Structure 1
């Protein structure tokens, strides 16, 4: 059976804000995510998506 965690739990696990997790869910960047009413359900074994705005990448382009 697939287990889920909430956005606040994922935020703590990944070291990012709860709002950022919600945005990743809205953008469908987390595979297997589901929305139940106002609650995002994230697969417990989901990996943190790679951030498109990495500081190192910006430095290369300057």
Structure 2
């Protein structure tokens, strides 16, 4: 299987590399694994949906 770095994934998906790191750490990218201090992301991995609040209003609990 071929892998890409977080920076390559960020360029491919149009998001920041920091956001890719956050997605990997949260287990949102399937097949991503940590190699030392870098993330190895499968080349065929798809960008996960954005689960952050988009309305600008926070939901009350």
**Interval of TM-score (by shorter of Structure 1 and Structure 2):** 0.7 to 0.9
Alignment of 1:40-59 (within 5 A): 40-53=39-52, 55=54, 58=55
Distance 1:37 1:52 in 2: 27
Structure 1: runs of 5+ lacking an equivalent: none
Partner residue in 1 for 2:36: 37
Q: Which residue of 2 aligns with 1:3?
A: 2
- Does 1:14 pair with 2:13? yes
CA distance in 1, matches of 2:36, 2:7: 16
Give the structure-1-normalised TM-score: 0.85
DSSP-derived class of the 1:25 partner: helix
- May I ask how many residue pairs the two structures share in their alignment? 59
Normalising by structure 2, report the TM-score: 0.86
Unmatched runs of 5 consecutive residues or more in structure 2: none
